[in-house]
Amino acid sequence: MSKVTIAGDVNGTGVFTIAAPNGNTNRTLVLPDEAGTIDTLQRAGNVLQVVNFVTTDKGSVVAGVASVDTTLSPDIFKTITPVGNNSKFLVQVRWNGEATHGSQWNSGWNILRDGNRINSSGNNSWDSIQSPSLNYTSVDNDSTGEGMTTFVLDTTGSTSGISTTYRLAISNNQNITATIFTNRLFNASTANGAIGYEVWSSEMIITEIAG
């Protein structure tokens, strides 16, 4: 029969207590058959939780002239309630759709935390963390999709139990409006797209990391 030994440190004076919870069910803790050190969930760098938001809804939004941080339609956002204090948040976004010709050169994506930009180059219409992809250089407001994947690491910190909302937004830095179609193409005019035209999903993933 193997044995379990709890050994104190000869130089320490503290008392370490192993306490049972207020439960009525018998439990067994099985130790791994290898050497190691017991970790704590709140150690810096540990993943505390992962949440995500996926949408297959299709829609469009018009970003006005020199507009800042227009919310998409459908809205791509997620609210997370931190389980730790001073956590960091890795926010990853995957967007698919089509932008009207010209807006690929003159617009930019930002991720907002409770309405404020994170890790952006500034707060103007020409500042962003990512530009839309450019799949076709000629005028083709029809059936040429774009895609974008981006991420930010938010080190602002957190308070356990106080929710935070992250949102994808686009800014338009040109002298004409820009229409951004999400999960559908320009010419797929119906709510569910159209036969022969691609449709997609878009997603936001948030990882809370102990600070």
How high does pLDDT run on average in the chain? 89
Q: What is the pTM of this model?
A: 0.85
Q: For CA atoms 211, 116, 71, 152, give the dihedral sign.
A: negative
The pLDDT of residue 189 is above 80: no
Residue 37, pLDDT score:
85
Asked whether 129 and 150 are in contact (CB, 8 A), the reply is yes
**Backbone torsions φ then ψ of 42, nearest 5 degrees:** -85, 5
Residue 40, pLDDT score:
82
The pLDDT of residue 101 is above 80: no
Other beta carbons within 10 Å of 73:
15
Query: Do strands 202-209 and 164-172 pair parallel, antiparallel, or not at all (unpaired)?
Result: unpaired
The pLDDT of residue 201 is above 90: yes
Banded model confidence at residue 141, pLDDT cuts 50, 70, 90: low
The pLDDT of residue 14 is above 90: yes
